[in-house]
A and B are shown apart, each in its own frame.
Chain A
Amino acid sequence: MNVLRKIGLALFAPVLAVVVAVVISSAVMAALQVDPFEVFAVMVDFGDTPSQQVTALVVILNRAVPLFLAGLAVAIAFRMGLFNIGVEGQYRLATILAAGVGAAVALPGPLHVLLIVVVAMAVAAIWAGIVAVLKVTRGVSEVISSIMLNVIALGIASFLLTGPLRGSPEGASIIATAEIPESGWMPSLNGVFGLLGLATPPRQLYGFLLVAVVVGAVIAVLLNRTRFGFDLRAAGLSPSAASASGVDSRGMVVKTMLLSGAVAGLIGMPDLLGSTHAYTTDFTSGLGFLGIAVALLGRNKPVGIALGALLFAFLDRSLVPLQIQDFPASVVTIIQGTIVLAVVVANEIARRVARRSAERGSAAPAVVAGDGSTGPGQAASGAASDGGAADGGVGTGAGVSRSAGAGQRSDERQESGL
C-alpha cells in the first residue's frame, strides 16, 4: 500500500461522513422549504469588516481548543479499546478544584499557571484512575463506572461551588469560585494578529491554543513512536496477542486511563485561564460528550481530531448568523447529529474497503481471515484485526467494536468468561 493510498483511505471515511451529513441535512432543509445553498452561504460568511472576520476566526478557534482536548482525551482511551465516557465529570471536577487552588495561592506568573494546570490534570487523572482500578481489580465495565462517576463528579463540583469554594458574594445571581489572581491568567495570542497584519479583534484568542497544539503533538508521538504507544495500540487491537507478547494488559488499562484523564483535565483550562478566571455555575458543560463525537469524527488520530474540532466549532459559530438571517438554527444541530451517525457508518465502510484491498493484495490472508466478522472499530489502520473473539478472558471487554457481528461475539465471550 503506497503512501498516497494510505492517505486516501484515511481521508475517505471522514470526508464521506461529512458529505453524507451535508446531503442528508440538505434534504431535510429542502423538506422544510429552506434553501440549503443559502444556509451554507450564511455559514461560510464571516462578516464584512476585517475585524468581524478575525473575530469569527477567534470564536471558532476558542471553541475548537476545548473540543480538541476533549476529543483527544476520549481518543486515547479509544485507541486502547476503552470507552472513557467519564471525560465530562473528569474535566468539571478538575476545573473547579484547579480554580480553587489557583485562587488560594499567589505565585509568579508562569508558575501559577503551571500549578493550576498540573492540579487539573492530576485531579482528572485520579478520577479516571478510579475507573481503571475498578476495571482491573473487579472487572467493572468502564462504561458503567465512568457514567456513574460523572454523576458523582458533578455532585461534588456542585457541593464545592456552593460550599467550601464559594467566592461570590451572598445573593449574587451567578455562584462562582473566588477569582484567580492575574498572575494565574494565561495571556492571549492577539499579538499574533498584529504581526500578521490583521485587524486585532475585540475577542481574546486563547493562549491555551499553543498548549493544545503541543499536547496534540506529544500524544501523537507517544501513540505512534514509542514503546508505550505500541503496547497501547496492540492491547487495543488484540488484548490476547498483546499479553502473549508480554504486554501487561492490566497495567496498560491503568496507564491509559490516567493519561486519558490527565488530558481531560485540560479541557476546562482554556476558558478558566483565558476568560472566566473562576469556575461558575454556568461554566461550559457537555464538552466531555461532544468530545466523543469529535474523537469519532477524527478517527482517534490527533490531526483528525483537530479537524473534527474545527468543524464542530465552525458549525457552532454559524448558529448565530443563521438565526440573524432567519434560518432555523436547528439546521446546525441536524448537521452535527448526522455527522456523528455518518461517521460510524463511514468508518465501517472504510474498514471493509481497506480489508478488501488487503485481501486483493497478497498480504497475510491468515490475519484477515482471523479478522472474520469482528470489526476493529477504533482501529486506526483499517486492515488490522480486533482479535477480541479469540480472546479467552484476560482483557474482557477491552475491545470496542462497532459492527453488530463483533458485538455478538463479545457477548458470547463474556458469557463464557462468566
Chain B
Amino acid sequence: MKVAALLLAGSMALAACASDETGGGSSGSGGGEGGGSEEPRIGLAFDTGGRGDRSFNDAAVAGLEAAVEEHGGEFQDLSPNADGSNRADLLTQLADEGYNPIIAVGFAYGEVIGDVVEQYPDTTFAIIDSSAAEVGADNLTGLLFSEEEGSFLAGVAAALKSETGHVGFVGGVETPLIQKFEAGYVAGAQAVNPQIIIDRQYISPAGDFSGFNAPDRGLLVAQGMYEGGADIVYHAAGGSGLGVFQAAAAAGARAIGVDSDQYQTVDDPALQAVILTSMLKRVDTAVSSFIDSFVDGSVQGGEDIVYNLEQDGVGLSTSGGFIDDIQDQIEEYRTQIVDGEITVPSTP
C-alpha cells in the first residue's frame, strides 16, 4: 500500500516535471549563410504542447517555412515549460537575441505580450488567436480567425453525412476560443437538420490545459459518443484529436479534423480513412502573409487582421474525396455566410 502510494506520487511528480518533448529548437535555415541583412530572422513562440501536434501549431511552422523559402532568412522556435510559467521569458529571450519579427502562437500569450511589446518597442510582434486592439501597441498585430464560420461548414458536412442523425463535438479545453468552434458546428448541423442530436463534450475544464494534449482522454470521450450512436465527431482539441481519430477507426465511424488538413498530416492510412474532412484554419497563410508584409515594410501594427470564410482564412479540406458529393450544398451555405444571409453565432 505504502509502496504503491509512493510509486504513484513519484510518477505524478515525474509527470509534473515532464515538459512535452519539444523537438528542441530546431531552426530552419532557408536562405543559407551569408545572406543579406534584410533577410528576416523570425522568432516563433509556441504554447505548451506546441510543435508536433499535426494541427494548429504545425500549421504555423508550415507558414513560416513557406515564408523563409520565399524571403530567405531563418527562424527559431521555442516551447515553454510544462506549466507555461515562462511564456514571457520566451518572448524576451527571442527579442534579446535580435529576432524580428516575433510571432506568439496561441491565445495564452495574450496575457504576457502586453508587457513585452512595451519593453521592446523596436521589435515587431504578432499574436495568433488573441486581439492586439485591446493591447493598443504599435508593434503588435493580432492574427484572428472566424473559426465559427469554418466550423459551421463542418457542422453542415457532418449533418449531411450522418446516417444516424446523431453527431458529436469534442473540445480540448472549455475556453471561449474553442466554444467558437462548438457554436459554429452546432449552428451548421442544425441548419441542415433541426432534429439532429449533437453530443458536446470538453476534455478538460477552463484552467486545465491538459485537454489539448491528451490523446488518451480524447479517445475515451469520442468512444463514448460513438457508442452512444454518433457516427461523426468533430474535434477541436489540438493534439488530443489523434485519440478521436483512433476512436473513430475502432468504431468504424468517422471524424472531422481541425486547423490543418489532418488527412495529410495524420500519417497513418488507417486513420486517414476516417477523416471525413478537416476544418481548415489557415494559420500558415496568416503567418506567411504577416511575414510578407513585414518584409515589405507594410505592417500596420496595433490592429487585428481577421481571416474569415470570404478570404479562405477558414474552410473545409477536400482531401480523401469524402465530401465531394455534398460540395454543392456546402458551397451554398458558404455563399450565404459570406453574403451575410446567415450570421454564425460565436458563443454556444
A residues with CB within 8 A of B = 47, 52, 55, 59, 63, 83, 85, 92, 141, 143, 147, 154-155, 157-159, 161-162, 170-175, 202-203, 271, 276, 280-287, 289-290, 292-293, 296, 316-317, 319-330, 332-333, 336-337, 340-341, 344, 397, 399-402, 404, 406-407, 410-411, 414
A-B contact pairs, 7 of them (CB 8 A): A59-B86, A83-B6, A174-B108, A174-B130, A281-B209, A316-B85, A400-B2
Whether the pair B111, A282 counts as a contact (CB closer than 8 A) is yes
The yes or no answer to B294 lying at the interface (CB within 8 A) is: no
| Minimum-distance CB pairs A-B, first 3 | A323-B25, A289-B16, A158-B205
In the bound complex, residues from chain B placing their C-beta under 8 Å from that of A407 are 1-3, 6
Given A202-B119, A317-B89, A400-B2, are A280 and B17 neighbors across the interface (CB < 8 Å)? Answer: no
Given A289-B15, A324-B97, A340-B13, are A59 and B89 neighbors across the interface (CB < 8 Å)? Answer: yes
Given A155-B205, A329-B22, are A290 and B78 neighbors across the interface (CB < 8 Å)? Answer: no
In the bound complex, residues from chain A placing their C-beta under 8 Å from that of B207 are 92, 154, 157-158, 161, 175, 280-283, 285
Given A289-B16, A290-B16, A404-B3, are A162 and B96 neighbors across the interface (CB < 8 Å)? Answer: no
Question: Which one, A52, A141, A286, A329, contacts B24 given CB within 8 A?
Answer: A329
Whether the pair B17, A336 counts as a contact (CB closer than 8 A) is yes
Number of chain B interface residues as a range: 35 or more
Whether the pair A320, B21 counts as a contact (CB closer than 8 A) is no
Whether the pair B19, A329 counts as a contact (CB closer than 8 A) is yes
- CA–CA, A406 to B107, complex, Å? 49
Stretch binding the partner chain, chosen from B174-182, B187-195, B283-291, B321-329: B174-182
Whether the pair B82, A286 counts as a contact (CB closer than 8 A) is yes
Question: Which one, A175, A327, A333, contacts B19 given CB within 8 A?
Answer: A333
Question: Which one, B13, B25, B131, contacts A290 given CB within 8 A?
Answer: B13
In the bound complex, residues from chain A placing their C-beta under 8 Å from that of B26 are 326
Give A92 Cβ to nearest chain B Cβ, in Å.
8
Whether the pair A323, B24 counts as a contact (CB closer than 8 A) is yes
In the bound complex, residues from chain B placing their C-beta under 8 Å from that of A162 are 174, 205-206
In the bound complex, residues from chain A placing their C-beta under 8 Å from that of B173 are 281
- CA–CA, A395 to B165, complex, Å? 58
Whether the pair A320, B130 counts as a contact (CB closer than 8 A) is no
- B residues 1-53 near A (Cβ < 8 Å) are 1-3, 5-6, 8-10, 12-19, 21-27
Counting residue pairs across A and B whose Cβ atoms lie within 8 Å, the total is 187
Nearest to A332 among chain B residues (CB) is B19
The yes or no answer to B312 lying at the interface (CB within 8 A) is: no
The yes or no answer to B81 lying at the interface (CB within 8 A) is: yes
What mask results when residues 78 to 113 of chain B are scored 1 for a CB within 8 Å of chain A, else 0?
111111111011101110110000000001101100
B residues with CB within 8 A of A = 1-3, 5-6, 8-10, 12-19, 21-27, 76-86, 88-90, 92-94, 96-97, 107-108, 110-111, 119, 129-131, 173-177, 205-209, 346-347
In the bound complex, residues from chain A placing their C-beta under 8 Å from that of B81 are 316, 319
In the bound complex, residues from chain A placing their C-beta under 8 Å from that of B17 are 290, 293, 333, 336-337, 340
Give B90 Cβ to nearest chain A Cβ, in Å.
6
Give B150 Cβ to nearest chain A Cβ, in Å.
17
Whether the pair B1, A397 counts as a contact (CB closer than 8 A) is yes
- CA–CA, A325 to B24, complex, Å? 9
Nearest to B43 among chain A residues (CB) is A324
Give B195 Cβ to nearest chain A Cβ, in Å.
30
In the bound complex, residues from chain A placing their C-beta under 8 Å from that of B27 are 326
Whether the pair A173, B24 counts as a contact (CB closer than 8 A) is no
Whether the pair B176, A172 counts as a contact (CB closer than 8 A) is yes
In the bound complex, residues from chain A placing their C-beta under 8 Å from that of B25 are 322-327, 329
Whether the pair B2, A406 counts as a contact (CB closer than 8 A) is yes
Whether the pair A319, B83 counts as a contact (CB closer than 8 A) is no
Whether the pair B21, A330 counts as a contact (CB closer than 8 A) is yes
Whether the pair B111, A83 counts as a contact (CB closer than 8 A) is no
Give A286 Cβ to nearest chain B Cβ, in Å.
5
Nearest to A278 among chain B residues (CB) is B111
Nearest to A411 among chain B residues (CB) is B1
Give A376 Cβ to nearest chain B Cβ, in Å.
13
Interface centre among B17, B23, B111, B119 (most CB of A within 10 A): B17
Nearest to A34 among chain B residues (CB) is B24
Whether the pair A397, B14 counts as a contact (CB closer than 8 A) is no
- CA–CA, A55 to B95, complex, Å? 14
Whether the pair A281, B86 counts as a contact (CB closer than 8 A) is no
Question: Which one, B2, B13, B76, contacts A289 given CB within 8 A?
Answer: B13
Given A85-B12, A284-B85, A397-B1, are A319 and B96 neighbors across the interface (CB < 8 Å)? Answer: no
Give A339 Cβ to nearest chain B Cβ, in Å.
9
Give B342 Cβ to nearest chain A Cβ, in Å.
20
